[in-house]
Chains A and B, each alone.
Chain A
Amino acid sequence: MGDIPERFKHLDFMRMDRRTFLKAVGALGASVFLQNYRSEIVKALEFAENRIVWIQGGECTGCSESLLNGGEPDIVQAMQRLNLKITYHELLMEQQGVFVDGILVNTSELNSELYFEEVIEEGGYILVAEGAIANGPDGSGRYCVLGGKTYKEIFRKAAENAAFIVAVGQCAAFSGVNAADSDIRDLLDFRGVAFTLEDETKGILRELGIDKPVINIAGCPPHADWMLLTLAAVVLGKIKIPEDLPGVLDKWKRPKIFFPPDHTIHENCPRRGYYDRGEFDTTVSGEKCLWKLGCKAPYTHADCAIRRWNGYHSLCPQSGSPCISCVSAGFPDSSRPFFQEIEDVGIVGTNLDSIAKVAVGGALLAAGAHAIKRFSEKDAGKEGGEGKEDENGEEGNEKIGKETEESGENEGRNEKTETAPEGKKEG
């Protein structure tokens, strides 16, 4: 290593961020560098895909709170062992946005605004968006102005230079509670990244004319595993972007591994036995099935009941509260009112996807209810594979396990049978 200046001799490229790495390459000259650090370079270059820029719009910080609740992996493991580098996150950073007489001051080490500009300019990061994007009033975005810029503009810049976008939580993925029906919903005009509620034409990316791959981690909030394991899968090269995404994601751009199209929470509910025996609670604080209290688990596609929450031990219906389907694109309107039996309300507006209808239909058949069965009958035969899914409805647990182990094979099958073609052609 004769040509290496002393100050570069003991560098550990695995511990370097990309900016410092590029500076070192520049200082040494590429050819000298290549001779001396060939094997390390391969690893070091991977950092370009590891950096996570996490931005927050119309949100409650619950998704970030949930991120910090990660168990296996926890946030520190994810960073130290799975190589995720949380480069920018307003909850977890030292810097503040500081202006003196209207001018950004100090350096990026103490000024978050300057740091943000640096990071964005460098590009190539994974953009994690938390929270909805305010588009109102009148498309101005001025219902959320941060550091003198609209969040809509901040999001645009961050999205343009991102490798791809992970929308975490209902607010970023679908606008969530921000888009709940109200007299001022249209005035505020909060948008999700690729969807607003179930409407793909109203995603902010389309409004901004940006075409980037998007992964939606649904949930209010999302489970820490859903976020960290998705990011880990990408960083570890287990999911290639964009080529793998059509097989890996469902039509709402949610990873099927966590939001399985052929499985609902209901299948593994700890109160399922009561349901099968037709024993229902009609007031809260009991121990029986919550169907008559409005439980949405029979048509909610998420692995909550298998994975369980916070230390892998809990689930909303386990605590006596009906599932409110907080992972569904139409949440909360598609789930309201929360505490009324679905049969009472009718399911108009819930936009059950095809598999879900079958699941609900099958479930109700077992309980001797009829209202929703109509839906499954009406749509029967419309899409291939439904009958098969229906018959196998009781084996959801096994299927999920299989899907985890043999994801490739199962994803192929799911793509063939479930995902409608229009979902693939966005952008």
Chain B
Amino acid sequence: MVRVTIDQLTRIEGHYRIDTQVNEEGVITEARSSGLMPRGFERFLEKQDPRDAALLTQRICGVCPTSHSIAASNALDQLFGVEDSVPKDALVMRNIHQSLNMMTSHVTHIYVLWAPDLVNPAYRDLLGNYGAVGAAVWKEFLGRYSPISYRIDGVDIPPGEAYIRAIREKRRLHEAISLMGAKMPHSVMAHVGGVTYGATVADIGQLAAYYWKTMDFVEKYTLGGIPPETWLENTHLATSPQKAVSFVLNRLQELTDASLVSNDFSYTAGWGDVPLFAAFGSELLGEETLNLPVSLKFDRSGGYNDPGKIGFLSYGVYYKPELGDGYDPTSPADSRVIPSGFMNGNFEPERFDYTKIFESNTHTFYVDSDADREPFNGSTEPESDPAKIDFETAPEARYSWIKAPNYGGIPCEVGPLSRMLIMGEPLITGLVQLFREKGYPAPNNYLRMLARVQEVLVIGAQFLKWIYEDLDPNGRFAVPTDLSMAKDSRGMGLWEAPRGALGHWITTGPDSKVTLYQAVVASTWNLAPQNSEGIPGPAEQALLGTKISAAENALGVDYTNPLGILHTVRSYDPCLACAIHAMDRTGKHKEWKRVV
């Protein structure tokens, strides 16, 4: 048995470590997921004006600040008792804001954080064994996805074309957000009772312009020449999951037929980033279906071995404008555009029930007497003995600053894949069915990436509807609130960040000041350590059985270049800045010393 440790995983937000045991066949048999630091967010909200939470909690994360500010605003709406009266146009503004953030975050993850793993020299070696096709594909990888700082064999590699374009698109989408939210990261706008800014008639045209420029990029480079509308018409709006899958397969077959002759896998030949990934990332689609000579086999790893120990969860996101003013803070399934819901490990859906959300500290560096706690009764006391904070020698039981959330005792995967499944999105649903039928893991690392891409397009279409049809620039954008309305109250804000389910919980005392603040965050779900029952977190489960080296150990076992770990963990789009934010109320340290 060999111990392979990634510490730290780079190209993420925050600090993360994965510790694995790998057998002689190069297969992972144990995995531990560790967040490497606490920060203290929720604690410094206590005793303060609750309205500050929207602006302060977004500073948990520089990539999805918008999600935190809206989740906090949802919690504040209920806290102030105005959730029934938040004006429709304020809700539409929050939708617009959130959708732009989600698109930005996904584009950043796909191109800037995830794709640079494709230029790992192991893929040069692998593709080098497959003649002209392999060489052409490697050339595309290197020319498109190299990061800013990279060298192979002493030669500096310039940043990739797609990588640089994606940074510019990210910048453009941030500009669109700042049109309403002033700046990004840490935009303003979401506020208790509504938003601080209502888009003007002029803003609508400008928002559309930003969007269409980014969609030009998506059409030309991401999809390889297919207009986003055409893509959606044939996948998301397909009459059956099978038809959606067929559309993609037919397109890939056309491209493959031409390029296996020409050996041209460039953008101009139609090989956008999605076709290139969809074909060469999958053994089932690439090698088995399209008869490509080689694939990177992302569909062979990242699944779950025991369907009884995993679920898929969405809190629901994007208010439905047609429901008018106000919304239901418990997020029933029919109240949000991407619905709330739960699916068990066998993909059987259930209605979402927020009372099933718990967090456990049994395997964290927090000191806690209770096994599981509901968010309104959260507890986190950081270990204060330095000797006990040791990732190398710490007792098995405690190894992370990430808490372990569960839904009725079950660890859950959250994020685009869960959302698309719960939504019944035809392409992703169809692909999951296909992989299951053919005996492949489902979900897998390949599907998580495709779900992320598909979500960009699905949300994009909604974005257009919100700005063109639903938003009334002359509407109302906030209901007035007064601090006294938050007296002795509590509020829950359920929302979805780009990476998955995000909830904020808040309570106040007689002076309307915060008595408890608690955030249960997307990456906390995905990267959780073992829970109180000893069940590993989703990423830990997905690593079990994963082969450690490139393309399922196709070139043999190389413990020193563990791409299998990287792809699996990165498919969740880990955000440790979010995951380790956690610090909530404890019974201790009640004395408050104002230090000024």
Q: Which residues of A line the B interface, CB within 8 A? A: 15, 17, 20, 56, 58-66, 68-71, 74-76, 79, 86-102, 105-106, 109-110, 112, 134, 137-138, 140, 142-148, 151, 176-178, 180-185, 187-188, 190, 220-221, 283-285, 309-311, 313-321, 324, 326, 332-333, 336-340, 348-349
Contacts and interface: CB of A to CB of B under 8 A. Distances in A.
Interface in B172-218: 174-175, 177-189, 191, 193-198
Contacts of B589: 183-184
B49 A336 contact: yes
A91 B170 CA distance: 15
> Most chain-A CB neighbours within 10 Å: which of B12, B65, B389?
B389
Interface in B550-596: 559-562, 566, 577, 583, 586, 588-592, 594-596
Contacts of A314: 178-179, 181-183
B141 to A, nearest CB: 12
B182 A188 contact: no
A411 B481 CA distance: 46
Interface residues of B, number: 110
Given A100-B3, A183-B592, A319-B182, A338 B55 contact: yes
A89 B6 contact: no
B130 interface: no
Contacts of B390: 142, 145
24 contacts: A62-B61, A62-B185, A63-B62, A66-B62, A69-B170, A75-B167, A89-B149, A94-B150, A97-B9, A102-B392, A106-B561, A109-B152, A110-B561, A144-B36, A144-B37, A146-B7, A147-B8, A285-B198, A285-B478, A319-B189, A321-B182, A326-B186, A332-B56, A337-B49
B52 A339 contact: yes
B120 interface: yes
Interface stretch (B321-329, B379-387, B439-447): B379-387
B51 interface: yes
A106 B560 contact: yes
B116 interface: yes
B243 interface: no
B62 A61 contact: yes
Contacts of A190: 39-40
B315 interface: no
Given A86-B148, A285-B197, 7 more contacts: A59-B14, A180-B44, A220-B186, A313-B175, A320-B197, A321-B189, A333-B596
Contacts of B112: 68, 91-92
A93 B147 contact: yes
A96 B566 contact: yes
B46 interface: yes
A91 B11 contact: yes
B188 A319 contact: yes
B37 A145 contact: yes
B4 to A, nearest CB: 6
Given A60-B62, A68-B171, A137 B183 contact: no
Given A76-B159, A92-B149, A311-B175, A112 B8 contact: yes
Contacts of B150: 93-94
Contacts of B352: none
Nearest to B166: A68
Q: 5 tightest A-B contacts by CB?
A: A62-B62, A321-B188, A320-B196, A140-B386, A337-B49
The SS class assigned to the A binding surface is loop
B534 interface: no
B2 interface: yes
A232 to B, nearest CB: 16
B194 A97 contact: no
Nearest to A332: B56
Contacts of A79: 148
A313 B180 CA distance: 10
Given A93-B147, A181-B594, A183-B592, A60 B8 contact: no
A337 B52 contact: yes
> Most chain-A CB neighbours within 10 Å: which of B41, B386, B583, B594?
B386
Contacts of A105: 559-560
Given A69-B184, A182-B46, A187-B382, A58 B116 contact: no
B183 A60 contact: no
Contacts of A339: 49, 51-52
Nearest to B167: A68
B197 A99 contact: no
A284 B478 contact: yes
Contact of A86 (B63, B149, B170): B149
A143 B35 CA distance: 11
Given A90-B10, A98-B5, A99-B7, A58 B39 contact: yes
A407 B209 CA distance: 38
B420 to A, nearest CB: 25
Contacts of A313: 175, 178-179
Interface in B98-154: 112-113, 116, 119-121, 146-154
A64 B62 CA distance: 8
Contacts of B347: none
Nearest to A340: B49
B5 A65 contact: no
B247 interface: no
B207 to A, nearest CB: 12
Contacts of A338: 49, 51-52, 55
> Most chain-B CB neighbours within 10 Å: which of A102, A145, A315, A317?
A145
A142 B185 contact: no
B119 A20 contact: no
B363 interface: no
Nearest to A110: B561
B470 interface: no
Contacts of A332: 44, 52, 56
Contacts of B392: 102, 148
Contacts of B592: 183
Contacts of A76: 159, 164, 167
B356 interface: no
> Most chain-B CB neighbours within 10 Å: which of A101, A134, A184, A283?
A184
Nearest to A147: B7
A65 B196 contact: no
Contacts of A99: 3-7
B59 interface: yes
A87 B48 CA distance: 42
Interface string B237-278: 000000000000000000000000000000000000000000
B184 A310 contact: yes
A184 B382 contact: yes
A101 B178 contact: no
Contact of B185 (A66, A93, A102, A181): A66
Given A69-B174, A71-B171, A340-B49, A134 B37 contact: yes
B148 A93 contact: yes
B499 to A, nearest CB: 13
A228 to B, nearest CB: 13
Given A99-B4, A187-B384, A284 B391 contact: no
Contact of B62 (A65, A309, A316): A65
A69 B171 contact: yes
Given A69-B184, A182-B43, A187-B382, A94 B62 contact: no
B388 to A, nearest CB: 9
B477 A285 contact: yes
A181 B40 CA distance: 10
A92 B163 CA distance: 10
Contacts of B5: 98-100, 102
Contacts of B179: 313-314
A176 B171 CA distance: 25
A311 B12 CA distance: 25
A100 B2 contact: yes
A137 B384 contact: yes
B38 interface: yes
B13 interface: yes
A285 B59 contact: no
Contacts of B348: none
Nearest to B16: A146
